[in-house]
Amino acid sequence: MQVTIQQLHNCGAVWLESVPVTEIFQGKTMWQGEVEVFILSGHPKAKCCYGWPHPDGDDNKTERFVTVLEIPPVNSPEVAVKMSIVADLKKKKK
């Protein structure tokens, strides 16, 4: 994941910690897992990046890495997950 973040965002990334996150909406667990927190160096806007693997594809048998920069309103792993879920839902509606 560290290499993915470095390549996607063209900056240095050093792992800081893993944070357990559970996102529940209307009583349903939307996502649950570990979010990896990385400290960035050389990025013009963000000091941190959050990343995690996410099932992908129609059958959820493939996996993609989600990365979210810590740029307001994103200020925590929990908010990063929420913003990612909202973005995915908007893509599905199109």
CA dist., res. 56 & res. 65, Å (int): 9
Phi/psi at 47 (nearest 5 deg)?
A: -100, -20
Closest CA to 22 of 6, 35, 10: 35
Q: Residue ranges of the alpha helices (H) in 1-94?
A: 2-9, 77-93
Contact 28, 89 (CB under 8 A): no
pTM of the model: 0.88
Q: What is the pLDDT of residues 40-75, one digit of tens each?
A: 999 999 999 999 988 777 777 788 899 999 999 999
CA dist., res. 63 & res. 93, Å (int): 21
